[in-house]
Amino acid sequence: MLSRGTLWSVALALITAQLVIRGWLAVTGNFYWDDLVLIGRASSHPILSWDYLGHSHDGHFMPAAFLVAGVSTVIAPVNWIVPAITLIVMQALASLAVWRMIRVLVGPRAGIGALAALAFYLFTPMTVPAFTWWAAALNSLPMQAAMAWIVADAVLLARSRGRRPDATLIIVRSSVIFVVALAFFEKSLFILPVAFAAAVLAVRFDGARPQSASTDDVGHPMPDSPLIRAFTGARLLWASMAVIFAVWVVVFFSVSDATAGQHSIAQTARLVWRSINDAVIPSLIGGPWEWERWVPSPPMGFPPVWMIVLGWVVAALLVWWAVARRRGAAVVVACAVVYMIAAQIPAMWNRSSANTALELAQTMRYLPDTAVVFTIAIALVVAAPAASTQAVVGRHAGASGRTAAAHPVGVVLVAALAIASAMISLVSFADSWRDDPTGDYLANAKRALAENRDITMFDQSLPLEVLLPVAYPNNQISHTFGRVTERPRFGVTTDRLQVLDSSGNMVPGAVTPARTIRPGRGSCARPELDGPGRLTLNGPLIQWRWTVAVSYCANSGGEIELSLDGGRPVRVPVQAGLHVVYVQIEGRGRAVRIRPVTDGLAMHTGEGRVGEVAEARLVG
């Protein structure tokens, strides 16, 4: 058995190694997909408003995650430094909370088995994809930390039969942590059943209760079982969390649109199986080693058949060892398997339309909480007495970890091989994760916007490989860069049409000729337009937001109004002399209505176009 000092030194070394690796992943990463949606909403809403904090994002109710994203966007808009720091800090909190939980579960005589449980959590590939993706990490990491902390608190209360002097503090503390975790991710509701199951399983071998605690007021013996001890020992905690659970469920279904869309039981089952067979099982041996991405999708793991087969073999051997060598291990394994399946169902159901690719399950971003539950299971098996033990005297009498420590060299060797395999997977994932145009696009766009901050730009969509139109309006550059200070104004009229290309560089823009405008019958010397008129098109327009490009010659500076049928007029500044103006207006019809607003303003209009904005090199 390792000394307390050695145990803590090794544990802190492992946690430090994980944070160094995760730090490298964080600083070499960048924003992706939902990150830009969070930024877009933070740039277009007051970050303390309910419209922002209470928004149902893809079925999630996550006000705390929105708040962190909003503060980050206000502090450093479209700057990866602050999100990277939040990732590292949240991972550090989660890792320390998991180590505390393992220590509580295993007890004071913890040894190499406790370190094996910690190493599994720290380096399993199941937690990597949700860490690198900021939006996913804002959901997952607080849940991981909260689950570990509350499980430890629940076990402390259950083992003490609620008689700890700090019991009230523990109850209040865990209740607050539960609320905070729920505010980041509604899936944190699973913490309550996990904590209760862990408490029941943890007190099974705590020994006989004192006689004074086993009788009622008249001396009759009271029923005693792990279930009763876990329930009565932490009953105030369960009551508090149950109330929070119920309230949050009501709020969630009142606010969220998680049940919207098409769903399929068969597709859900296929997704859950794919997640288990192609993600969870390979991760038990540090896989998958091969990650691919089809931009704009996230990386997906593609384990070869041999790795899946080997994963199943290893899983079977681990279960056999646990059941054969540890008392009560079968129940622990069963609970872990039930959670692995049950925890996948809500997420997969929410994305179970017939058009959902099964490869979604191979992204592994729905598995971090399962990794924590597996860690709990490992710690409980390590803490359990050896199967040959016939009597248990006192708390943790069989939890010395003698069997786990019987062959420490073998345990270390197996752990080292698993960690090495996980590092291969991590490097492959990191290469795939960085194969994304978003970071370069955002960097180029910020530079280009700063260099052209004196012009007025039209709003435009982000490139398809950065964010698809399904995210509208958060796929508009006015949302993504709304809080950036060094940028052009976004408006509906300009005399210099500039656009961002697919790489984020500023280039000349042009209007596609969906319809053309016939020139007026006058000339610059004899302007034909000094009152309301019509710019005739060569065909009709459907109801849409159109961009009008028209050349003109004005006798003086001033303002005009342009409009289409069914749309509001837009005031447009014009300059004396020969110029071109670009205007975005909504409506339909066969002509653009025009009206000088400034007294004495007269104009001659030349050829023009009505269409969409595009790069000039593509329009010709």
**pLDDT reading at 609 higher than 90:** yes
Q: Count other C-beta atoms under 10 Å from residue 388's C-beta.
A: 9
Q: Is the pLDDT of residue 222 over 90?
A: no
Query: Phi/psi zone of residue 107: left (φ > 0), alpha (ψ -120 to 50 degrees), beta?
Result: left
| Helix%, strand%, coil% for the chain, nearest 5 | 55, 15, 30
CA distance 461 to 451: 20
Say which residue, 296 or 577, is predicted with more confidence. 577
Q: Which amino acid is present at 486?
A: E
Please say if the pLDDT value at position 396 is more than 60. Answer: no
Give 2 or 132, the one with higher predicted confidence. Answer: 132
Q: To which residue do tokens 């058009």 refer?
A: 355
Inside any domain, residue 289: yes
pLDDT band with cut points at 50, 70 and 90 for residue 109: low
- Give the pLDDT confidence of 494-546 residue by residue, as tens digits: 999 999 999 999 999 999 999 999 999 999 999 999 999 999 999 999 999 99
Q: What is the mean pLDDT of the chain?
A: 90
Which range of residues forms the domain containing residue 569? 515-619
Instruction: Mark whether 160 and 279 lie in a shared domain.
Output: yes
Structure tokens at 138: 């804002």
> Does residue 188 carry a pLDDT above 80?
yes
Q: Which of 385, 413, 434 is the last residue of a domain?
A: 434
Is the pLDDT confidence value at 303 over 50?
yes
State the Cα–Cα distance between residues 447 and 443, nearest whole angstrom.
Answer: 6
What are the angstrom distances between the C-alpha of 601 and each of 509, 517, 576, 577?
A: 28, 21, 9, 12
Kindly tell me if the per-residue pLDDT of 588 is higher than 50.
yes
The two structure tokens encoding residue 557: 């500076």
Question: pTM for the complete prediction?
Answer: 0.89
For residue 521, which of 579, 581, 604 has the smallest C-alpha distance?
604
Mean pLDDT of 64-76: 96
203 and 233 Cβ atoms separated by less than 8 Å = yes
Six token digits for residue 368: 């971090």
pLDDT at position 389 is: 47
72 near 84, Cβ under 8 Å?
no
Same domain, 528 and 430: no
How many H helices and E strands in the chain? Answer: 22, 16
Q: Are residues 519 and 428 in the same domain?
A: no
256 and 360 assigned to the same domain: yes
Pairing of strands 613-615, 506-511: antiparallel
Residue 516's pLDDT is what?
95
CB neighbour burial string for 474-491, b if at least 16 within 10 angstroms, e if fewer: bbbbbbbbbbbeebbebe
Q: Which residue has the tokens 């191979």?
A: 362
Q: Residue 417: which of 130, 17, 119, 15 has the closest Cα? A: 119
Per the domain annotation, does 138 fall within a domain? yes
236 in the same domain as 383:
yes
- Helix (H) or strand (E) segment spanning residue 102: helix 81-106
Q: Is residue 507 part of a domain?
A: no
Q: Is residue 475, in this structure, part of any structural domain at all?
A: no
Q: How much is the pLDDT for 219?
A: 52
284 and 188 in a single domain? The answer is yes
State the pLDDT confidence band at 209, using cuts at 50, 70 and 90: very low
Position 142 scores a pLDDT of 97
**Is the predicted pLDDT of residue 208 greater than 50, yes or no?**
no
Q: 20-24, 226-230, 346-350, 468-472 — which one is most confidently predicted on average?
A: 20-24
pLDDT-derived band of residue 405, with 50, 70 and 90 as boundaries?
very low
Q: Which of 59-63, 214-218, 332-336, 373-377 has the lowest mean pLDDT?
A: 214-218
Give DSSP secondary structure letters for 218-272.
TSPBPP--HHHHHHHHTHHHHHHHHHHHHHHHHHHHHH--TT-S---HHHHHHHH
Distances (CA, A) of 164 to 155, 181, 269, 521: 12, 25, 45, 94
- Measured distance CA(74)–CA(484) in Å, rounded: 9
Q: Kindly indicate the confidence band of residue 223, based on its pLDDT and cuts at 50, 70 and 90.
A: low
Going by C-alpha positions, the residue among 299, 616, 296 that lies closest to residue 464 is 296
119 contacts 17 by C-beta, under 8 angstroms:
no
Residue 463: inside a domain:
no
Q: For residue 187, give the nearest of 97, 38, 101, 61 by alpha carbon.
A: 61
Q: What is the DSSP letter of 512?
A: -
- The number of domains in the chain is 2
pLDDT at position 58, please?
84
Residues 156 and 251 in one domain: yes
414/543 same-domain check: no
- 49 lies in a domain? no
How far is 508 from 517, CA to CA, in rounded Å? 21
CATH number for the domain spanning 526: value is 2.60.120.260
At 538, give phi and psi (nearest 5°). -90, 10
Q: Is 421 within a domain?
A: yes
Helix (H, G, I), strand (E, B) or coil at 389: coil
- Of 370, 404, 434, the domain-final residue: 434
- Of 396, 416, 434, the last residue of a domain is 434
Of the chain, the percentage scoring pLDDT greater than 70 comes to 92
404 and 520 share one domain: no
Residues 168 and 306 in one domain: yes
Residue 480, domain member (yes or no)? no
Tell me: do 90 and 181 sit in the same domain: yes
- Asked if residue 114 and residue 21 are part of one domain, the reply reads yes
Q: DSSP of 444-510, one letter per residue?
A: HHHHHHHHTTTSEE---BPPTTT--GGGTTTTBHHHHTTT-SSSPEE-SEESS-EEE-TTS-EEEEE
